[in-house]
Amino acid sequence: MRDPRHDILFEPINIGPVTSKNRFYQVPHCSGMGWRRPNTLAAMRGVKAEGGWGVVNTEYCSIHPTSDNDAFPYCALWDNEDIISHRKMTDEVHKHGALAGVELWIGGSLIVNLGTRLPPLGLRNHPQQDTSVYHPGQTRCMDKNDIKNIRKWHRDAAKRALEAGFDIVYVYATHGYLLSEFLNPETNIRSDEYGGPLENRVRFIKELIEDTREIVDGKAAVATRFSVGLNDSESYDAFALLADLPDLWDLTVPDYSVEMGNSRFIKEAALKDSVLKARQLTSKPVVSVGRLTSPDTMVQLLRENVQDLIGAARPSIADPFLPNKISTGNLEDIRECIGCNVCYAHDSLGVPIRCTQNPTMGEEWRNGWHPEKILTTKKRKRVLVIGSGPAGLEASRVLGEMGHKVALAEKSRELGGRIITEAKLPGLSEWIRVRDWRITQINKCQNIEVFPESFMTSESVLELGYENVVIATGARWAKDSIGRHSNCDFREADIGMIISGDEVLEKPVKSKSKFVVYDDDHYYFGSVLALELKRQGHQVTLVCPAGRICSWGEFTDEQTRSNTEVIQAGIKVINNYKIEAVTNGIAELSCVFSGETKEIFCDFVIPITRKIPVTDLYDDLCSKKQEFRDNGIEKIMKIGDAEAPSIIAAAVHSGYRSAIEIDNPASKALNFAKREHPLIK
Ligand code: ADP
Ligand code: SF4
């Protein structure tokens, strides 16, 4: 039953001419699906509406071929075929009584039009600005005629939005795209009525809001996405000039690494103070985000009049049913986002988003997976899952919910595998949610039995004779230099000087020592391990063959803050060097470009290069095929890091997939080949 304190979240609200049934608002967010994957997209957005979101928006939606963000997937409303695609999405959203919104988007100097090959339009002659792309192309400096054209294209796109069935149409004036260039005095160097004083710099946005309102003509609401920041007083002056023009303000802050903050650095409700100040300047409803997963925080934001609607991108990805769970009072079932930004990373990689917490995200259409519904098995099997990391926990949960009889065996006293260790590292405490949510679900399921402190051997597995055995025994950091920059081990290695990334956390070195962390992994682990060792009082040097530490963190939006934290902690960083040898208290380094060598004195080297799957049990069982058949075992599967080490999201996905495949072994071949084929005319 719903806690009456949360009732306020379910009060309807008028947004101009339309009404949202509640305060849950899925703000526009990238999906990695875009116009090329309309079925995948419609199914994903539809599940959000089914889960109770009052408003479900698209991602950024290009109004015209001069705004093309290939190879990043984006939506478009260029022509009739786009209308048909979007219709699919709006139908799915309307089916569940939610409103559908579209974020009309104009590129600017952040893009380079790699698909259409038309020069991008900007306010200056300027190199494209996306630092994850660094394309040599530049924008074309816009003239008055371009402004006129863009107004027409925006109006035309708004017309198409209505035809596609949208209830909310956006003017998108932030995130560094063209309209924010107009606002910014550094980028807006125009000397006409669109440049100079603030009144002039807001003119284009004002015109677009007015144009859109005229086109939608009371059939849809007009929203504006806009940034305000306490350190940017002019942003409030600009906001005040537009304050009552749109029907809804979708407010964020000028720093994307706060808005989309990785949980290593940014916690829940980080936008509150910035938004509150703007809220006081408008009579129109305001929505804002802040990785909000706690209903109490949400209520507080509404009561304190910070905002009128609870905006969410990531919390709606991790749990599309978050509103319904609050509505029914099933708060312990909320699958809280951990703020890892793995979703966003994959959009930037040009593939559908995925989620560490929600393995069904992006698989709604292709595999027919659903975050809350799992088909009950027709034939109940006895399944033994070995290992309780993210893969084993997820496999056990799903198998249990399918109705199988599950035994989960874990050698340690505590469940969670790599999550237990990693969540204790600096900044990663929220990662424990991956484990805790699954344990809560497992504890509720009558047909799952958990056996901690149960080290399994091939003999004990054979003895138990379960029909299916799922091996989720994980992986361990290697103690060699084989990785992205080397196919072979250290030329020489003093074995006493090499400690693995697991060992150093399991048995911390007590005496203050000189550590070298050799990061050829390029994600968070090398950096957080270095920070942890520093916290323990050691001297730490991070050696990395790439030009920057935490290179993959570019995609999860943590690279900059991570490097800042590492440097400020007093960790010495050596980039563009490999480690060749570790002997006699010295690590010998060589430059990846010139081969030039240097030496550093150290007590220990920790290679963060690759992980080795723990497969002794699997291999042992496989070598005893006849015996396991004699003992009634039909199938043995290896999943998660034990199959192929990767990010936690991959282990959770593997756990979910393995459970489904126990009932339907053909699914891999059939479903993963299901793709969005273009219509051949
Ligand atoms: P993944 O990411 O694939 O889920 P983890 O490394 O997080 O993998 O978890 C693997 C888990 O398997 C660890 O908790 C580990 O203690 C457990 N484990 C490994 N070998 C055995 C075994 N032989 N018997 C029981 N548990 C095991
Ligand atoms: Fe949250 Fe990570 Fe899932 Fe994104 S991938 S929604 S950040 S848990």
- pLDDT, tens digit, for every residue of 506-516? 999 999 999 99
Query: How far is Cα 409 from Cα 616, in angstroms, rounded to an integer?
Result: 16
- In this prediction, residues 499-527 reach a mean pLDDT of 98
| 374 backbone dihedrals φ, ψ, rounded to 5° | -125, 130
Return the pLDDT at 176: 95
Q: Is the CB of 355 under 6 A from ligand 2?
A: yes
Q: Is the CB of 647 under 6 A from ligand 2?
A: no
Query: How far is Cα 359 from Cα 371, in angstroms, rounded to an integer?
Result: 8
User: Is the bond leading into 71 cis (omega within 30 degrees of zero)?
Assistant: yes
Q: Is the CB of 655 under 6 A from ligand 1?
A: no
Tens of pLDDT, residues 536-574: 999 999 999 999 999 999 999 999 999 999 999 999 999
Note whether 109 and 133 are within 8 A (CB).
no
Note whether 224 and 250 are within 8 A (CB).
yes
Query: How far is Cα 528 from Cα 164, in angstroms, rounded to an integer?
Result: 47
Residue 12 has pLDDT above 90, yes or no: yes
Mutation pick for ligand 1 pocket among 342, 384, 388 (CB with most ligand atoms within 8 Å) = 388
Q: Choose among 202, 265, 608: nearest CA to 430.
A: 265
**Cα torsion through 456, 460, 464, 470, rounded to 10:** 40
- Return the DSSP state at 455: -
Tens of pLDDT, residues 357-415: 999 999 999 999 999 999 999 999 999 999 999 999 999 999 999 999 999 999 999 99
* 49: confidence class by pLDDT, cuts 50, 70, 90: very high
318 CA from centroid of ligand 2 (Å): 6
HSE-CB for 603 with a 13 A CA cutoff: 11
Query: How far is Cα 276 from Cα 9, in angstroms, rounded to an integer?
Result: 18
Query: How far is Cα 405 from Cα 481, in angstroms, rounded to an integer?
Result: 43
481 CA from centroid of ligand 1 (Å): 24
Task: For ligand 2, atom 8, name the residue with the nearest CA.
Answer: 337
Tens of pLDDT, residues 239-252: 999 999 999 999 99
Percentage of residues in the chain with pLDDT exceeding 90? 94
Query: How far is Cα 580 from Cα 490, in angstroms, rounded to an integer?
Result: 5
Q: Which ligand is nearest to the CA of 615?
A: 1
Q: Is the CB of 292 under 6 A from ligand 1?
A: no
Return the pLDDT at 131: 77
Query: How far is Cα 24 from Cα 336, in angstroms, rounded to an integer?
Result: 15
Query: How far is Cα 116 from Cα 65, in angstroms, rounded to an integer?
Result: 6
Return the pLDDT at 669: 62
Query: How far is Cα 525 from Cα 537, in angstroms, rounded to an integer?
Result: 18
Residue 578 has pLDDT above 70, yes or no: yes
Return the pLDDT at 339: 98
Residue 130 has pLDDT above 70, yes or no: yes
* 664: confidence class by pLDDT, cuts 50, 70, 90: confident
Tens of pLDDT, residues 201-229: 999 999 999 999 999 999 999 999 999 99
Pairing between strand 475-477 and 611-613? antiparallel
Residue 94 has pLDDT above 70, yes or no: yes
Q: Is the CB of 343 under 6 A from ligand 2?
A: yes
Tens of pLDDT, residues 286-334: 999 999 999 999 999 999 999 999 999 999 999 999 999 999 999 999 9
Q: Which of 100-114, 229-243, 666-680 has the lowest mean pLDDT?
A: 666-680
313 CA from centroid of ligand 2 (Å): 9
CB atoms within 10 A of CB 84: 13
Tens of pLDDT, residues 336-345: 999 999 999 9
> What spatial distance separates the first Cα and last Cα of the chain, rounded to whole Å?
53
Tens of pLDDT, residues 158-199: 999 999 999 999 999 999 999 999 999 999 999 999 999 999
Please enumerate in sequence order all residues whose Cβ is within 8 A of that of 346, keeping only pairs 6 or more positions apart, or say none: 32, 352, 353, 354, 555
- Return the DSSP state at 139: P
Query: How far is Cα 360 from Cα 320, in angstroms, rounded to an integer?
Result: 10
Tens of pLDDT, residues 255-298: 999 999 999 999 999 999 999 999 999 999 999 999 999 999 99
Tokens standing for residue 467: 């029909």
The neighbouring-strand residues paired with 227 are 252
Return the pLDDT at 666: 72
User: Which are the catalytic amino acids?
Assistant: 177
Give the position, in ligand 1's atom list, of the atom nearest the Cα of 654: 3
